[in-house]
Structure 1
């Protein structure tokens, strides 16, 4: 059941974002667009409440519950960036705004480190949700599955930091420099 709710919340999250951008750029209704864009974070709150209610109602934690915590952490940490990316795409497509320049060199490495910081935030939020659920439920046998997500959070953060380190050492070349 929780897996279905996660999928429904993911669909609702993107429906709110795309609906907000469609209202803003295609329908010419910027206020409606803002309302729909603000609905996206509400989806995360709804998912968190549903997961907590399921566990507090006697449910045993599964990987789905841990996935919900991870999803919420990523959504909170990267949500604004994802919306800004989609907004820029819509502005380019429907308003003729210039496309964002492709980052290379130091600018790309800096962007990678900013992403590593966002990933750290996502991991911290996910860990706090997992820890909070474990404490609130107060039954180690029913929340054992959640404990298994802590090493996964470390792996996710490590991969993102290694990505940033690699582009700091070997900067991404521009297309001109790579072909020249």
Structure 2
């Protein structure tokens, strides 16, 4: 059930963003667009409540519950950036705004390193959600699977650091210009 809720919340997150941007750029209703964009964090709250209710209802935690915690952490830490990216694309498509310039070399590596603290925040939020669920349920035999999710959070951080390090050592090259 929680896996379905995660998928539904991810779809709802993007539908809220797209609806908000369509209202803003296509229908020229910026206040309606802002209200629809505010639905995205509400969706995260709904998922958190669903996970809590599921576990408090007697269900034994599974990896789905850990995934929900990670989803919430990523959504909170990266949500604003995802909305800004989508907003820039809509402005480009519907208002003729200049596209964001592509990043290469040290500029791209610096952007990757700026993501590391954001990923740390996402993992910290996910860890707090996991810890909160463990404390809320108060039944170690039913929440032991959540404890197994903490090393996965470490892997997420490790991958992000390796990603940034990789682009620092081997910078992303600009495409060759056709003659």
User: Shorter-chain TM-score category?
Assistant: over 0.9
User: Counterpart of 1:39?
Assistant: 39
Query: How far apart, in 1, do the equivalents of 2:33 and 2:153 lie?
Result: 34
In the other structure, the counterpart of 2:153 is: 153
The match for 2:164 is: 164
**Secondary structure at the counterpart of residue 28 of structure 1:** coil
Per-residue deviation, 1:176:
3.9
| 1:35-94 CA-partner distances (Å, limit 9, x unpaired) | 000110110011101111111121111111111101000100110110011011111011
* In 1: Cα distance, 2:147 partner to 2:59 partner: 16
* Moved beyond 4 Å, runs of 4+: none
Q: Which runs of 5+ in 2 are unaligned?
A: none
- 1:166: how far off? 1.3
Following superposition, the deviation at residue 16 of structure 1 comes to 0.5
In the other structure, the counterpart of 1:131 is 131
CA RMSD of aligned residues (A): 1.4
How many residue pairs get aligned? The number is 179
The match for 2:63 is 63
Instruction: Provide the rounded CA distance (Å) in 2 between the counterparts of 1:175 and 1:61.
Output: 47
Cα distance in 1 between the residues matched to 2:122 and 2:165: 19
Structure 2 counterparts to residues 1-180 of structure 1, below 5 A: 1-176=1-176
Distance of 1:81 and 1:115 partners within structure 2: 10
3-state SS, counterpart of residue 51 of structure 1? helix
1:2, 1:109 → 2: CA distance? 36
1:13 and 1:55 mapped to 2: Cα distance?
23
Distance 1:102 1:8 in 2: 32
Structure-2-length-normalised TM-score? 0.96
Matched position secondary structure for 1:172: coil
